[in-house]
Amino acid sequence: MKKIFFFALVALFALNVNAQEKPVYTFTDIVNLDKTETKDQCRTGTCWSYATGSFIESELMRMGKGEHDLSEMFNVRMTYPKKAEMYLRYQGKTQFGPGSLSHDVINAIANYGVVPESVYSGLQNKETEHDHAEMDAVLEAMLKALTEQRTVSEYWLEAVNGVLDAYLGEVPESFEYQGKKTNPIQLRDDLGLKAEDYVSFSSFTHHPFYEKFILEVPDNFSNGVYYNVPMNDLVMMTEVALKSGYTVAWDADVSEKGFSFRNGVAVLIGDDVPREELFTKAHEELEVTQEDRQKAYNSHSTTDDHLMHIVGMAKDQNGTPYFIIKNSWGSENPYGGLQYVSYHYFLMKTVGILLHKDAVSKAISKNLKP
């Protein structure tokens, strides 16, 4: 995932300053599932934790566990040392940065548990907004310096943890939550969260369909495994999950000019449409083939830019279907931080999805190879 920092968000706003105040699209929701309050990742590249954390919070609501505000920065704090370890093992010949993927949150839950936001916010010294620019720079410089040493001592992990504790705070071993003393592992178990319940899917032709593969994107430092399915199966799976009450974590490319947080929509528009006309009227969208998806991936015009949370389905005034996403860029758009993503955009720009295994339709499950 490219690092979606504050300046990138500002750029997205600026690109659409000529949009009409009156919405071009009128949406009718078909499915709109339970979700927690929209958050803002601010000046960080941690959309993966916000999106998947939101997904887990909706999972808890679906499971009848009530509404919980879980700490995104706990996942970040526990994942960074793993990224640092892989960077050193590859002697700096791989990426180190703030980006990760949905399965890294699942891994953090499996290995370390969960912590409420009220216990671990990741904010220090009365800070009110996250800004990881300095922390990321310090960590990257430290790790690059280590790779330049002839040998690496056993103290590197202590140094990395020291930086993380300084910027994000020390993780509590135990804490009070809802009138009970608990700890991250115990809270995870009390909430019934099981890492093995979640599975990832993608759709690219350089691997066989219905088999597992390691998705080749820079942020997949943990070599997360995805099932590979045809692109139309991705849409069907997402529809079936939503209609069955399950939300979906979504990894996608948001660099297309038709993706507008400010306007609350994402549509797949051709290059022949001038930018100033993008959101002044509805335009016919581009058709998408499996070959189109693969070419975009091969050419790097589709990359793992940003992770979001799919919470529903809708149709516009013309009957065109959309997925409803919950973003992590705050609530300052016409839909309170939600966004309507057309199926055309989803087909072309989806990198991967993560969902509960019980949400996978039988039609898909029967074709999956172990």
142-188 pLDDT, tens per residue?
Answer: 999 999 999 999 999 999 999 999 999 999 999 999 999 999 999 99
In CATH, what class is 6-365? alpha beta
Does residue 223 register a pLDDT over 90? yes
Distance in angstroms (rounded) separating the CA atoms of residues 252 and 348: 9
How is 214-267 classified by DSSP, letter by letter? Answer: E---TT-TT--EEEE--HHHHHHHHHHHHHTT--EEEEE---STTEETTTTEE-
* 6 pLDDT above the threshold of 50: no
- All residues at 6 or more sequence positions from 195 whose CB lies less than 8 Å from its CB, including other chains: 106, 107, 109, 110
Using CA atoms, how far apart are residues 73 and 121, in angstroms rounded to an integer?
6
Answer whether 198's CB lies under 8 Å from 359's CB.
no
What is the overall mean pLDDT for the chain? Answer: 93
Residue 175, SS3 per DSSP: strand
Distance CA 220, CA 100 (A): 6
pLDDT at 22: 59
Q: Which amino acid is at 76?
A: V
pLDDT digits (tens, 9 = 90+) for 230-245: 999 999 999 999 999 9
> What average pLDDT does the segment 38-63 reach?
98
- How many Cα atoms occupy the beta-carbon half-sphere of 182 within 13 Å? 18
The whole-number pLDDT of residue 75 equals 98
DSSP state of 43: B
Among 5-19, 93-107, 229-243, the minimum mean pLDDT is found in: 5-19
Please indicate whether residue 281 or residue 39 has the higher confidence score (pLDDT).
39
Mean pLDDT of the region 60-68: 98
Q: How far is CA 48 from CA 34, 88, 182, 267, 308, in A?
A: 20, 22, 26, 22, 8
3-state secondary structure of 182: strand
Sign of CA dihedral 257, 39, 114, 31: negative
- The domain ranges of the chain are 6-365
Model confidence band, residue 18 (pLDDT cutoffs 50, 70, 90): very low
Does residue 221 carry a pLDDT above 50? yes
**Through-space distance between the first and last CA atoms of the chain, rounded to whole angstroms:** 28
